[in-house]
Structure 1
């Protein structure tokens, strides 16, 4: 019996030690967990240029990828210390809440209902809808399109909101919906459509790939903020990620953000003003 009691006592001590270790790890929080692990784990996409996609060599690239490298640099002074978990858009929230990833950066629109499930960081990009035109085409800009009224046809990716969305910018235009982006652009190229309504980020990326063929109509609408997301309940981790993103937008890491912005959107973002913080 004494031997059995000793075994039971030893087993209980091991369990207690394990529970204490787990409790300590949880108390330390995600920031200390990531630092101890030595790498950041980020959920992102792999089929959505310019945010996250595979280049010709199969390497994962894009604006969200560059942002994750900036955050890894803040953690480890080494932007390479990040592991990417490619995921579908409907896995963005579940993978955070179940702890599969430390954070998600995946062209994720901030909404109040989503904020009940995850904690959003400060926004790093404001998305919207824009109108792509052929260079030298019949209509020079949004004002010309609007003046033409029902004589204008706009191609757009098919969804239940497409027609109402286009009519917010061009109330009288005809709307031609397509089930993939390639066909939407093909309609513009063939003259079947006078303009293509698409995400502003996609428009900038497409124009960067085809600088002599297309122009921006100069009008954007339907704004929405993109932000990364982390699990709720860990203020230190959220504060760190917010700090890293804020310094990329307006502080010491602005050079990295500027380079990424120019690479994927073909334009230079406004430089942070020196003086009183905005």
Structure 2
């Protein structure tokens, strides 16, 4: 397998070092993924994940939580560091990806400087613990699916992207879907919605949990797992790293991404929603999507915000 070189992450970038205007050209080559299913009007459960955050308000900009970040002079954002296309540390030591672009847009809104952001590398299973720990991060932007369970622990912005869980396999494997992987090892990150779906799949695959998605790629390379199943955005990055891999077109479930903030910081939620609305309206979202995903996932539009008030 051919794997792109990603820098090893030890902690986080210093403020201002995680941004570059000279980004690499968009990855080439689509793998023919089908569009994710349309999001439902409401989630199956005790909440509506598509309308779970406050509408933007002029008072949000002066709220105590936003003011605390502004007074510090730097935005602390928890991100992935090994998810090519969404959030990864390149060989030049610079954080890049779709989620990283969004973090810079929020820093620009807060400080008038997209570089005023400190990236903190988090594993998937540490996103909520590190968000709820004092002073660790202000928010998490890391392909984080909004769920009813998570909403009981942290706050979320409006949905900024609708991904879908799919399956990645070796080309020529003969597998067509997760239904064909009964009794086979299927890899995903611990603490993710993906691992839960694998564990409860009717075909009864064997769920293999790892800390980082790059660990799944190594296991697939060593033939220790038969497949990887997670969000199509993340799988697109893995497929770009190895031309011997393919993403199966069947979508397993929709994954609505939100920016997570500490529970109860509603002024920060509202402020972020205002930034998101502007980011989508002024073409920033479309430009970032085109750069990172269009070559693999096809055309897409911003999801459009829905609010709880």
**TM-score tier after normalising by the smaller chain length:** 0.5 to 0.7
Which protein is bigger by CA-based radius of gyration?
A: 1
CA distance in 2, matches of 1:229, 1:43: 9
Q: C-alpha root-mean-square deviation of aligned residues, in Å?
A: 4.0
1:219 aligns with 2:250: yes
Q: Residue 56 of structure 1 corresponds to which residue in structure 2?
A: 91
2-side partners of 1:138 and 1:240: how far apart? 47
Partner SS state of residue 297, structure 2: coil
Q: Measure the CA separation in 2 of the matches of 1:167 and 1:39.
A: 41
- In structure 2, what is the equivalent of residue 238 of structure 1? 269
With the length of structure 1 as denominator, give the TM-score of the two structures. Answer: 0.65
Structure 1 position 118, deviation (Å): 1.8
Are residue 111 (structure 1) and residue 147 (structure 2) matched?
yes
Alignment partners' CA distance in 2, 1:50 and 1:258: 10
Distance apart, 1:47 and its partner CA: 4.0
Q: Is the 8 A contact 1:177 1:184 kept in 2?
A: no
Q: 1:165 aligns with which of 198, 217, 220?
A: 198
Q: Which residue of 2 aligns with 1:65?
A: 100
Q: Which residues of 2 match residues 1-278 of structure 1 at below 5 A?
A: 28-97=63-132, 98-135=134-171, 137=172, 139=174, 141-142=176-177, 154-157=184-187, 165=198, 168=201, 171=203, 180-181=215-216, 182-187=218-223, 193=226, 196-210=228-242, 212-249=243-280, 251-262=282-293, 266-271=296-301
The whole-number CA distance in structure 2 between the counterparts of 1:218 and 1:76 is 41
SS in 2 for 1:208: helix
Distance 1:218 1:34, change over 3 A: same
Q: Which runs of 5+ in 2 are unaligned?
A: 1-61
Change (3 A) 1:236 1:174: closer
Q: Is the 8 A contact 1:124 1:226 kept in 2?
A: yes
Distance 1:163 1:39 in 2: 35
SS of aligned partner of 2:99: helix
**Compared with structure 1, are the counterparts of its residues 253 and 58 closer, same or farther at alpha carbon in structure 2 (3 Å cutoff)?**
closer
Within 1, Cα distance between the matches of 2:205 and 2:153? Answer: 39
Number of residue equivalences: 236
Q: What's the offset of the Cα at 1:115?
A: 1.8
Larger helix percent: 1
Q: Which has the higher contact order (CA 8 A, sep 6+)?
A: 2
CA distance in 1 between counterparts of 2:66 and 2:116 reads 14
Secondary structure of the 2:223 match is: helix
In the superposition, the TM-score normalised over structure 2's length comes to 0.59
Q: Is 124-133 or 213-222 further displaced after alignment?
A: 124-133
- Aligned partners of 2:175 and 2:229: how far apart in 1? 15
Gapped runs of 5+ residues in structure 1? 1-26
Q: Do the aligned partners of residues 133 and 253 (structure 1) sit closer, same or farther apart at CA in structure 2, a change above 3 Å counting?
A: same
